[in-house]
Amino acid sequence: MKILILLTSHAMLGESGQKTGLWLEELAVPYLVFTRAGAEVELASPLGGPAPIDPKSEKVASAEVKAFLADPKAVAKLHATTKLSTLTGSYDAVFVAGGHGTMWDLPTSADVARQLSRTWQDGKVLAAVCHGPAALVGVKDEKGQSVVQGRRFTAFTNEEEAAVGLTKVVPFLLESKLTELGGHFEGGPLWASHVVRDGRLITGQNPASSKGVAEAVLDAVRAAKR
């Protein structure tokens, strides 16, 4: 089983002057779920090299985050992500980790749109958590339509964005944007784990959803291999 985890390369929170990047829990938890299941995991980002980490996510280190940071192989991958445009292999699934950085670079990246569109059109599993679904903005299905059109999804909600005070900082509201593209949004309670699976499209609402999304990815990949 080969799984690609896509990370942001964007490190600044708009014009706020604050640092951002990936939310560490949303990388660490899925990485451990996948590798403990025997999957081969590669980390990639639009620019390659070290992926920026939101400093706030380092202050709330869970047991899984600590385990990830204690794994030299995992940390080495994080500090030397593969440049997305250079990937040549195929993957059973692509998982997009969240963090506010994703809102700036992943929706506008031609490389992201190309990789994720190919993943979907090849019949593979496409997953994202929290702000990770921002990567779906430019992704097309086999009919040339948005991959979320007519499909159920979840993501960091407008209400959660308001709760963290960043509604006017982010370039768009993720729930609203994907709904405008034809997706059917399904939200759960604020900050609680909430996972939506619509066939090969798997999305999670917030950091607490990371484990549930990763486990759903494994289930979907295994089902496809039967």
Selecting among 26, 64, 160, 161, the annotated active-site residue is 161
Selecting among 130, 160, 175, 194, the annotated active-site residue is 130
- For residue 52, the 8-state DSSP code is P
**Rounded distance, CA 182 to CA 98, Å?**
21
Selecting among 131, 160, 175, 194, the annotated active-site residue is 131
Residue length of the chain = 226
Does residue 130 carry a catalytic annotation? yes
**Rounded distance, CA 196 to CA 188, Å?**
10
Q: Are 27 and 33 in contact (CB under 8 A)?
A: no
**Rounded distance, CA 101 to CA 124, Å?**
25
The two three-digit tokens of residue 220, written as one number:
């979907």
Dihedral of CA atoms 25, 218, 121, 6 in degrees, nearest 10, equals 20
Instruction: Identify the CA nearest to 200 among candidates 152, 144, 130.
Output: 152
3-state secondary structure at position 212? helix
The amino acid occupying position 149 is Q
Residues with catalytic annotation? 130-131, 161
